[in-house]
Amino acid sequence: MKPTTLATLLTLALTAICATAADKEKDDHDHAAKAGPTGGRLITKVEPHAEFFVTRDNKIEIRFVDDDNKVLAPAGQTVSVIMGDRSKPTRLAFAQQGDKLVSDQTIPAGDLLPTVVQIKAGADGKTVTERFNLNLADCPTCDYREYACICDHEHVGEEKKK
């Protein structure tokens, strides 16, 4: 291999490593696992953060929260959820009810549902996508359901949280 080619490859590798380190330094959020104010899963990829919560009647509520977990009224955000069987997915739309968005229908039957949540921050905002398995089982070691679990244990059907 020519010395110039080797030098170019080395430079590219170091640039990629430095860019990754710089991105991590820019991210000043606390990524320690924590649940939302009503015990739901926090989606931190979007600002303000969103809490995904399944109610007793199997509807989904989305609340927007600040970094201190204080609920903020929706401000033009739109949310859609696709979940369940891939051959016949359930598509949920949301309407505002007070300080939250509530799904137009209930979630499909099952305890482990592939879920895709899309949140658009506003008319000009970028759509943020969050994918996870909605595990409705109770966590054996914390007070939340598995989809919102804040402990560091193996989750059925999911990779270990980091």
CATH assignment at residue 89: 2.60.40
> Taking 80 as the threshold, does the pLDDT of residue 145 lie above it?
yes
- What number is the average pLDDT over the span 90-100? 96
Whether 135 is covered by a domain: the verdict is yes
C-alpha–C-alpha distance, residues 107 and 95, integer Å: 15
Give yes or no for a contact between 75 and 102, defined as CB atoms under 8 angstroms apart: no
Whether 67 is covered by a domain: the verdict is yes
What does DSSP assign to residue 3? H
pLDDT at 151 (0 to 100): 85
Whether 105 is covered by a domain: the verdict is yes
> Taking 50 as the threshold, does the pLDDT of residue 12 lie above it?
no
pLDDT at 50 (0 to 100): 95
Whether 49 is covered by a domain: the verdict is yes
Whether 9 is covered by a domain: the verdict is no
> What does the CA dihedral 143, 148, 149, 153 come to, rounded to 10 degrees?
160
C-alpha–C-alpha distance, residues 65 and 162, integer Å: 23
Could you give the number of structural domains in the chain?
Answer: 1
- What number is the average pLDDT over the span 127-146? 92
Closest of 65, 29, 36, 48 to residue 147, by C-alpha: 36
Q: What are phi and psi of 52, to 5 degrees?
A: -100, 115
Whether 16 is covered by a domain: the verdict is no
> Taking 90 as the threshold, does the pLDDT of residue 34 lie above it?
no
Tokens of 82: 């696709």
Whether 115 is covered by a domain: the verdict is yes
pLDDT at 42 (0 to 100): 95
pLDDT at 159 (0 to 100): 47
pLDDT at 53 (0 to 100): 97
pLDDT at 121 (0 to 100): 85
Tokens of 52: 């995904």
153 Rama class: left (phi>0) / alpha (psi -120 to 50) / beta: beta
Looking up tokens 């991210």 gives 27
Q: In which domain, by residue range, is 124 found?
A: 41-148
Verify cis geometry, omega within 30 degrees of 0, for the bond prior to 3.
no
pTM exceeding the 0.85 threshold for the entire prediction:
no
Radius of gyration of the chain from its Cα atoms, rounded to whole angstroms: 19
